[in-house]
Amino acid sequence: MDMFNLRGQTAVISGAARGLGLAFAEALASAGCDVAVVDILQEPSAALYELQSRFNIKVKYYRLDITVRDDVIRTITTIIQDFGTINININAAGVVTDEPFLTTSDQNLRRTFGVNVTGSFLVAQACANAMVDRYKSHHGEEPARGATTGSIIFIASIATYIASTAQQISCYTASKAAIKGLVKPVAMELSRYGIRVNSLSPGYTMTDMMKGLQDEQPKLVKQFEKETLFGRIGLPEELKGAILWLSSPKASGWYTGQDLLLDGGATSWKHPAVLDE
């Protein structure tokens, strides 16, 4: 549909070398959007580069530690030079460590908040400045009146809605709550430039990380399955429609400052079972 046509636009996606971020990249690529991916991995999944020929778009990968401000600014500047513009920013980079609150380490705190909060903040800030510069070049300092300059999407989590007995991830949950806390004030500040800011909170999803858990802790994944109303883990492709809707100015142009929860109903009921000891 024309409503979801993103041809000629560019998305900067963090954490899309694999996993859920890669699924987001594929969703936008299928709509004709050019994709710039930033990630800490030396090389991304081959599937990322395949998007270029599959959908006739431009794809580039930039190795980046998103917790370092100067490196983030330098990389975003390079992306603007390579692509000409930034219209969409999806902050999908994230880490999680299962560790009891009473013994949560300084290393866990630093790494989790560094990547999930500081990294997302820095990438979004740099992309937002690029969007604002483009807006000012066309409209000056006049507040937006119907103009849609860009969309910034943070990836939060079901964990901020309901605590699961299956994992001890207070550090991760706090970091995702911080991400959700960014949405409303940043949406308010950037609205004058026509920039929409939202977050997406996925439920339990069969990412590469979840597949690893399935091998290492099968009881844990079975508990996740019990907690959804459909009795199964969500699939990455089931989040594609949501991320495409949030990215499209024609589809969700009046939606900003919100969190979109997509959890298979897991937060809708009192779960009947807990993880076996």
- Residues annotated catalytic, as ranges: 157, 172, 176
Task: Show the CA angle centred on residue 237, arms to residues 156 and 168, nearest 5°.
Answer: 40
DSSP, residue by residue, 101-153: GGG--HHHHHHHHIIIIIIHHHHHHHHHHHHHHHHHHHHTTPPPSS---EEEE
Helix (H, G, I), strand (E, B) or coil at 193: helix
Measured CA to CA, the distance from residue 162 to residue 149 in angstroms comes to: 34
Residue type at 256 in one-letter notation: T
The residues pairing with 13 across neighbouring beta strands, listed in sequence order, are 37, 90
User: 243 with 6: CB under 8 angstroms?
Assistant: no
User: 246 with 217: CB under 8 angstroms?
Assistant: no
User: 246 with 151: CB under 8 angstroms?
Assistant: yes
Whole-angstrom CA distances from 274 to 96, 153, 213, 219 are: 21, 32, 17, 10
Whole-angstrom CA distances from 182 to 69, 111, 177, 248, 276 are: 18, 19, 9, 21, 36
User: 58 with 37: CB under 8 angstroms?
Assistant: no
Q: What's the token pair of residue 7?
A: 């041809």
Helix (H, G, I), strand (E, B) or coil at 24: helix
